Structure 1
C-alpha cells in the first residue's frame, strides 16, 4: 500500500506550468516595436516580480514562423492572423487568440538639410514604386522581410515592386543613422522609433532627422504622425498593432497579452506615441494663445 501511494504521488520531475503572473516565457516581437515592448515588459515585471518575459526582436515574417513552429506562443506584430494561419493552429486543437491593441503609423524621415519634407500621397507612391522623375531618392528600410516593407508593397504599391536601388539597413536605428548622413535618403520607420520619450508635450520627434509631413488622398492639410492625427485618420500611413497568441493553458502569454490591453498597458502605448485602441479617448477642440 505504501509503494502504491508513493507511485500515485506528485512527480517531482514534472515541469511546472507558468501562470498568468508567474514563470518565464520567450516571445517574438516585430523589431519596429522594441522601444515600446521593452517599456511594457519593464512595467509588467515590476507588477509581477515572479514573471519573466524574454523578447526576441526580429522581422514580422519570422515572428509568425516562430508562432507556427512553437518557438513562441505570443507574438507582437502589425497584423492579425490570416485565415490560413488560423486554420493551421486549429488543427492542433488550440484556439488562436488575437487583439488589436493600438493604431500605429509609419513615418517617412529625411536628412535635416533636405528641403523636401512635405509630400502628397501621389508623390509618396511615385517614390515607393520608383516612378518619381523629379528626384532620385535613396529609399531605406530596416529589413527586407520587415513589416514596413510588407505594408508599402501591399498598401501603397498595390503589388508593384520597390525600386531596384532600395536599401535595407538591417535595423531601425541604422535607418535613422543612414538618413542623417545622406541628403538624398528617405527612410521608412515605425513612429515609436523617432518619438522623443522625454518631451513633456508628447509631441516631439528626434532631432537627428526630419519627419515628413503627408497629405492624405482627399485631405486638406499636411500632417506629421502625431497621435491625434493617427487616431482620427488624417495621417495616411496608418496600420494596426496586434498581439497573436497560441497557448494551451491560461499561462504567462495570456497574462502579458491581457496586460497589454489593460489600462496600465494602454498608458505605456500612449507614451510611445501610438494611438491606444482599448482606451476611451475623447477629442476636444482647444484654442492656443
Structure 2
C-alpha cells in the first residue's frame, strides 16, 4: 500500500459575493428577507443546515426552511413546483429540463461544493481498505459477504454508484435501503459485516454533536484510487480527485425573479458560504484553495 502525504485545506479569499437588498424593493420576498422552502438531498443535510444557520445569522429577516428528500423526490417536487430551490448532487437531465421549459420556467444551476460518498462500517468489520477489484465485486453484487446499505432506495448516493458501476443485474436485489443516514449508522452497529454509503458532511466532526458521534460508532474505509494508492475522503484528496467517489453539489433554482432563493444561492457560493463548505468537511467550488502539508501522525480525525 502506498503511503500518501496528508494535507489540510485552507480557503484563499479573492472576492466577496454579497447578497444585498435592493433599495426600495416592494417584494415581500427579497434576496435577504422573506421565507422560502428549500428541498435538500438528505445526504447533504448537515451542509445545508450549516449554510442556513450562517445565512440567518447574517440576514435575520430571512427564513430558509429545509425539507429533506431523497434526490429523486427532491427533483420530482422541484419539477412539480412544490419547491422552487433544491440542493442535490447532479444537474437536471435533458428530459427534466424539457419538462421545465414546457412550464415556461428556466433553471439556474450553481455549483457550490465538491462532496464525497464515504464507505463506512462497524469498527469490528474485517476490512479497512477496498481495492478497485473489491469495489467492482461489491457494487456488482458478486461479493455478497459485505451487504450494502444506502440512505434511501431513491438516493443520489445509490444513483451515483449505479452510474459508476453499471451492472446487468438490478442493484436492488443485493442492497438494503434505510430511511436516512442515522438509520444507516444504526444498521451498521447491529450488522458487523455490512458497509454503508453516506455523504461526507455526515461524518465530519466539525459540524455538530450528532455527526461527531457517528465517528465514534463507525470506521471509514480507505479506497484505492486510479494510481493504486489508498485514500480516505480527506478534503485534500477530494480536491486533488485522488479519492475515487467524488461528486458535485448544486443549488438549482426555478425562481422567476431575484428573490430569497437567489440570495441564499449567492450566499452559499460566496465568500462566507464557501467557508461554511470548508468547515463542513467538503471542498469549496467557487473559491480558490491551497493545500497545506502536515504530518500523518497528527491526523487522527477527518
* Aligned 1:1-289 pairs, distance under 5 A: 17-132=28-143, 136-157=145-166, 160-162=169-171, 164-197=173-206, 206-217=215-226, 219-285=227-293
Would the aligned equivalents of 1:100 and 1:241 in 2 still touch at CA under 8 Å? yes
1:4 aligns with none
Structure of higher CA gyration radius: 1
Displacement of 1:130 in angstroms is 1.0
- Structure 1 segments, 4+ long, off by >4 Å, are 284-289
Deviations, residues 171-206 of structure 1 (Å, cap 9, x unaligned): 10110111122211111111111111179xxx9971
Structure 2: segments with no counterpart, 5+ residues: 1-25, 298-302
TM-score (norm 2): 0.83
Distance in 1 (alpha carbons) for counterparts of 2:95 and 2:108: 14
Equivalent residue pairs, number:
269
Residues in 2 aligned to 1:260 and 1:160: alpha-carbon distance in whole angstroms: 39
Cα shift at 1:61? 0.7
Cα deviations by residue, 1:235-278 (Å, 9 ceiling, x for unpaired): 00111111111011110011101111011001111111111111
Q: How far, CA to CA, are the matches of 1:103 and 1:159 in structure 2?
A: 29
Secondary structure class of the residue paired with 2:173: coil
Aligned-pair CA distance for 1:117 = 1.3
101-110 or 277-286: bigger deviation: 277-286
Separation in 1 of the partners of 2:79 and 2:172? 32
Q: Pick closer, same or farther for the CA change 1:162–1:288 going to 2, 3 Å.
A: closer
Distance of 1:284 and 1:58 partners within structure 2: 36
Quote the Cα distance in structure 1 between the aligned partners of 2:53 and 2:172. Answer: 40
Give the deviation of 1:88 after TM superposition.
Answer: 2.3
Structure 1 alignment gaps of length 5 or more: 1-14
Q: Check the 8 A contact 1:32/1:190 in 2, yes or no.
A: yes
Mark the CA change 1:158 to 1:273 in structure 2 (over 3 Å): closer, same or farther.
Answer: farther
Structure 1 pair 273–207 and aligned structure 2 pair: CA distance change class (3 A): same
Cα offset, 1:282, TM superposition: 1.9
Query: Is the contact made by 1:261 and 1:278 (CA closer than 8 Å) also made in structure 2?
Result: yes
Preserved contact between residue 50 and residue 207 of structure 2 (Cα < 8 Å): no
- 1:16 Cα deviation after fit: 5.2
Equivalent residues of 1:205, 1:211 under 8 A apart: no
Residue matched to 1:9? none
Q: Deviations over 1:104-144 (max 9, x none)?
A: 00011111011211111221111111112xx6112111110
TM-score when normalising by structure 1? 0.87
* Cα distance, 1:89–1:214 mapped onto 2, change above 3 Å: same
C-alpha separation in 2, matches of 1:143 and 1:238: 19
Give the number of the structure with larger relative contact order, counting CA–CA contacts within 8 Å between residues 6 or more apart. 2
Offset at 1:284? 4.5
Measure, in 1, the Cα distance between the counterparts of 2:147 and 2:261: 40
